[in-house]
Amino acid sequence: MTSIPTTELVTLGTAAGPAIRGPENGIASAVVVGDSFYMVDFGLGCVRAAHDAGLRGRDFVAGFVTHLHSDHVVELPGFLLWNWGAPVDGFTREIQILGPGRDEAHPHGRRLAGTSDMVEHTLQAFSYDVDIRVKDEARPDLGRLVRPTEIRTPEYGSAAAQSPFAVYEDDLVRVSAVLVDHPPVRPALAFRFDTEAGSITFSGDTAECSALARLAEGTDILVHEAVNLEFFAGRGFHPTFLNHQSESHTSPEGAGRIATRAGAKRLVLSHLAGVATAEEWEGRARSTFAGAVDVARSGDRFALTPALAQATG
C-alpha cells in the first residue's frame, strides 16, 4: 500500500490591492503537494506568510502569475531573494516562474514588461546583492536557477479562448488555464491544479466568465475573487474606478453563480476588494451557490486527503 500525497491549499494572502484596507496580506496562495509547493501570485506579505506556513524554498517548484497588476507580483523579488540558497534553506536547483507575456493589444505593449522582462529586470536590479552572496556565502548563481516562462495564450475573442489549455506538468501536478475577463489587462489567466488527490482552481482577477466555469468543472475547490461594489460606491470613489470594479471583477453572488455552473464542491472567496464582514461575503455567495462557502483569511489551509491507493509496479 502507498498513500497518495495530500494536496493542500494555503491562502497566504486574501486582500485585493494595492490599497491596504484591513489586516490581511495581499493576494497569494500556495498549492502544497506532499513535500513540494507551488505559488499562485506574489502579493504583499507573501514572503513572511509562506515562511510562517512552514514553506521553505528548498521545496519550491514553480510559481504562477495570473496577471501583471502590481498587487499580484509585488513581492516576487522578495520571494526569490528570501528563498534562494542553502543559508536560508532555499532552492538550489532550477525553479520556474510562469505568467503572461507582453500585452500586444496595449498601445505601448511592445515596450512594457511581460513576465520574462519582470524576472530579468529583477535579477539585474539585485545583481550586486546576488553577486556578493554567490561569492561570499557559497550560494548558487540565482540567474541560472530562475527560469521565466511566458505562457502562450489564444487570442481573446477566438473560439480557442473559451477552452482550457495546458500550461505545466510534472510528476505531482498538471496545470491548465483559460483566459479570463479582466479589462483592460490582457492576458489575464485563471489556473487549475490537478493532482492525484483532487483539483484546485484559481479565478485570478475576472468578471463573471464562462471560460472559467469550464476550467473549474467538477473542481474540488474554486478560489474566486469577490468585490463589494457597494463599499466603493458609498464612499464617493471616482466613476472611472467604480467602472473598473464593475466591469473587471465579480460580486460574491457572481462567484456563487460560477461555482454553481462549474459544479464545484467548495467555493473559497479570496482577493476581497472593499470591506464587508465575513458573514456578509458568505451570505451573498450562498444566495447563488448551495455548496460549502469559505471566506478566506491569510494563513487558512484546505486539505484534499484521498484514501490510500494500491501501489503499482
Q: Is the pLDDT of residue 308 over 80?
A: no
pLDDT band at 2 (very low <50, low <70, confident <90, very high): low
Q: Is the pLDDT of residue 1 over 90?
A: no
The pTM is what? 0.96
pLDDT at 307 (0 to 100) = 55
Q: Is the pLDDT of residue 225 over 50?
A: yes
The residue ranges of every structural domain in the chain are 7-299
pLDDT band at 51 (very low <50, low <70, confident <90, very high): very high
Q: How far is CA 25 from CA 21, 45, 191, in A?
A: 10, 5, 21
The predicted model gives 198-221 an average pLDDT of: 98
Rounded Cα distance between 306 and 304, Å, is 6
Q: What is the pLDDT of residues 126-166, one digit of tens each?
A: 999 999 999 999 999 999 999 999 999 999 989 898 999 99
Q: What is the pLDDT of residues 162-200, one digit of tens each?
A: 999 999 999 999 999 999 999 999 999 999 999 999 999
Arithmetic mean of pLDDT over the chain: 95
Q: Is the pLDDT of residue 311 over 60?
A: no
Instruction: Write out the CATH class of domain 7-299.
Output: alpha beta
Rounded Cα distance between 293 and 281, Å, is 9
Q: What is the pLDDT of residues 260-305, one digit of tens each?
A: 999 999 999 999 999 999 999 999 999 999 999 999 999 999 999 7
Q: What is the pLDDT of residues 61-92, one digit of tens each?
A: 999 999 999 999 999 999 999 999 999 999 99
